[in-house]
Structure 1
């Protein structure tokens, strides 16, 4: 049994913290037995969670106390730590990034007690603060290097083996098929489209943009032959790409959360020698999340250009775009809890997620926003809860922890069910979810990840300032 328990209370747990600023709070210790600690250390850092392997980092740490705690003591230690400037807070489907304050008591010959609290961070530095590299460029360079190494090794082994064997053999001829197939694949994808279209030039600029800005470019080519095309299309998309496992169990998971397709040129016939110029332009959403390049956890924006040629390999080009912070400082009001939802829209959640509309004509996002703005006004929030009680919505929520409520403690708890604390995606409105028995396994498996289901508003928990929602038996993840 632990000799002490730790808890952390942030001074403003719902605030949106600017990158490079400071965060403060208090670490509380409850001592059950006399214990000597080599250090009560508090740390500011970040970590990913979701479907990919966990990646984490530490910005700063401080030792708040070293010495002995006596049984029954409840000491408190204030702290103030710098907030990191990257990566940004983000809550998606496959990828989540949380900034956190962690406290740990180092105790000899025992498990070190720990506690952690998450908070939201929005970068305020310019593009230079984003640790981003062009994945397409990296991939091309890596591909060239690997192909060169493969070619050299192949030539040495193949021709050296032939000389040693005194001539060609079935084994060496079979090995020769591998580079032949590679060459055929390259010719099929690159050389055949070029045979009809000639050299195709395609570029976009700038390749680093901020949310709400526009990227422009041009597609230029001069066909060598008369060629009919179905269309020239541009697909603008954003995706979460994460990797789980290692070695032979390593798997890549991709979730496209934003996609917009444009037909630039319809079905037509192109004449040889006549230059074709096609303007390109894409507008980033104002709430576009920033590009993220972390170990096994990436958020990628890219533009795919395709010339669709019937009964012939299509010409394609994939161009990566870095969505980076603008460098504009946060407005003073944006750092307060009452307006965090508005300020975090571009830094926390994926774009393009539409909320479910209730029969009353309002969405849950709108409802949550009203509760978020009024949550410190007890009279107004109770009046609002009475007005929307009974409305049913589709809900996205991040689970925090299970409660030990029983039916006697809270009349909303299902028989053989339980309650969990959670918060909405955006704004991060605290909620109590009443879980029926047949959904218990789903909540056990999902841990602290994103849960999606359907529920009915039943009231407001004034003590803990949380919206109470009773889940439907038919809710699904």
Structure 2
């Protein structure tokens, strides 16, 4: 018979907060006497989603070495492991983040037994903080309260202009040239119809680029800013758009928004499925009143709105092909129906512990 390994957590609900000590004991029952060997634990987290799964194996933690096991007698090894600072346990609509405590008993070159238990890593609450503060021994270290959102995508806080359509001048010129070549070569009726379509598409792309470039030149160009870029749930963020037009301008509308969504990427082996899955978690839009849409020439005009992140908002999370994304955006439309949009991501941390 092989050795029997059991894992017993002190907290039956398996709920732990960042920086707390995860305590319990490992029980080993060996059918025959053995000496030597070791117990090694690790805290691992993984992502399950409609897209690509992802898993992170934590650093190994040696719980005991040189074990002396009596035949048929249980041996208990207590442990204390600090709970990590993130990412937090999350059960969403299209992605799930889970934590697992794994223990492996290495009792010889051919004997390895493993056991595991799921834990819930949840944010701090006022009640949990008050109970923990009464015991210095179990109080979390200050550095452990710094939230870790996981391996976020590169340049997570960069701004980007939208929409990214075929409006580049090279695209317009290329399509127009292709249509002209087809007409010059005196192609058949079908080719001429295709040439006319290419001509319309090319000119549309070229004019769209010119109109948007003209808008950026007319308005300054517009610039979106967010303060702070890293905020906690329940806090406020200020979203502002600055303009510096060369002549008086009156905007038709300016809409500022705060949104959160789950975004996952499907496996590459499924070419017939949509590449991205998205699920909206939060959305708030503000239309700026008309009195603030008049822009005087030659000086910077800043239009801003204040948004409060919901107290129970899920924190930001990132992993390859899986993300819980918070972002703000600004959309400007002029009287001649030219539009401009810019989006910027922000990081949302759990509420203040």
Same fold (TM over 0.5): yes
Cross-structure match for 2:96: 96
- Whether the 8 Å CA contact 2:254–2:288 is kept in 1: the answer is yes
Distance in 1 (alpha carbons) for counterparts of 2:290 and 2:57: 49
Query: For 1:37 and 1:186, how far apart are their aligned partners in 2?
Result: 74
- Offset of residue 82 of structure 1: 2.0
**Structure 1 34/258 Cα, relative in aligned 2: closer, same or farther at 3 Å?**
farther
CA contact (8 A) 2:40 2:60 kept: no
In the alignment, structure 1 residue 231 sits paired with structure 2 residue 232: no
Within 5 A, what are the aligned runs for 1:345-424? Answer: none
- Deviation of 1:266 (Å): 5.6
Within 2, Cα distance between the matches of 1:269 and 1:29? 72
Matched, 1:305 2:330: yes
- Whether the aligned pair in 1 keeps the contact of 2:16 and 2:119 (CA below 8 Å) is no
Give the aligned partner of residue 114 of structure 2. 113
Confirm or deny that 1:80 pairs with 2:80: yes
How far the C-alpha of 1:111 sits from its partner, in A, is: 6.8
Where structure 1 has 5 or more consecutive residues not aligned to the other structure, the ranges are 141-179, 331-477
- Give the conservation status (yes or no) of the 8 Å contact 1:233–1:263: yes
Structure with the bigger RCO (C-alpha within 8 Å, sep 6+) is 2
- The 1:308–1:57 alpha-carbon spacing in structure 2 relative to 1, beyond 3 Å, is farther
Q: Distance in 2 between matches of 1:230 and 1:6?
A: 69
Distance 1:13 1:48, change over 3 A: farther
Change in CA separation of 1:268 and 1:139 when aligned onto 2, cut-off 3 Å: closer
Say whether the 8 Å CA contact 1:60–1:82 is kept in structure 2: no
Q: How far apart are residue 284 of structure 1 and its match?
A: 1.0
- Does the aligned pair in 2 maintain the 1:239–1:257 contact within 8 Å? yes
For residues 147-190 of structure 1, give each alpha carbon's deviation from its aligned partner in whole angstroms, at most 9, with x where no partner exists: xxxxxxxxxxxxxxxxxxxxxxxxxxxxxxxxx99x95993685
Shift of 1:313: 4.5
Q: Deviation of residue 109 (structure 1)?
A: 4.3
Tell me by how many angstroms 1:317 deviates: 0.8
Structure 1 partner of 2:267: 245
- Where structure 2 has 5 or more consecutive residues not aligned to the other structure, the ranges are 125-141, 162-201
Aligned equivalents of 2:34 and 2:277: distance in 1? 46
Tell me which of 176, 181, 191 is aligned to 2:213.
191
| Aligned position for 2:10 | 11
> Could you tell me which residue of structure 2 aligns to residue 58 of structure 1?
58
* Matched residue SS, 1:122: coil
**Using the alignment, how far apart are the partners of 1:38 and 1:189 within structure 2?**
73
Q: What residue number does 2:168 align with?
A: none
Separation of aligned partners in 1, 2:346 and 2:99: 25
Deviation at 1:320, TM superposition (A): 1.5
Residue 257 of structure 1, aligned match among 281, 300, 310: 281
Q: Map of 1:423-434 to 2, 5 A cutoff?
A: none
Per residue, is there more helix in 1 or in 2? 1
Counterpart in the other structure of 1:418: none
- Report the equivalent of 2:158: 137
- C-alpha deviation, 1:283, in angstroms: 0.9
> Please, what is the CA RMSD of the aligned residues?
4.3
Offset of residue 103 of structure 1: 1.2
Shift of 1:30: 4.9
Q: Secondary structure at the match of 1:113?
A: strand
Query: Distance between the aligned counterparts of 2:64 and 2:111, measured in 1?
Result: 20
Work out the number of aligned pairs and report it. 290
- Structure 2 length-normalised TM: 0.65
Post-superposition offset of 1:134: 4.7
Change over 3 Å in CA distance of 1:119–1:32 after alignment to 2: farther
Q: Does 1:25 align with 2:24?
A: yes
- Superposed CA deviations along residues 42-77 of structure 1, whole A, max 9, x for unmatched, are 223433333342231415512435558677554332
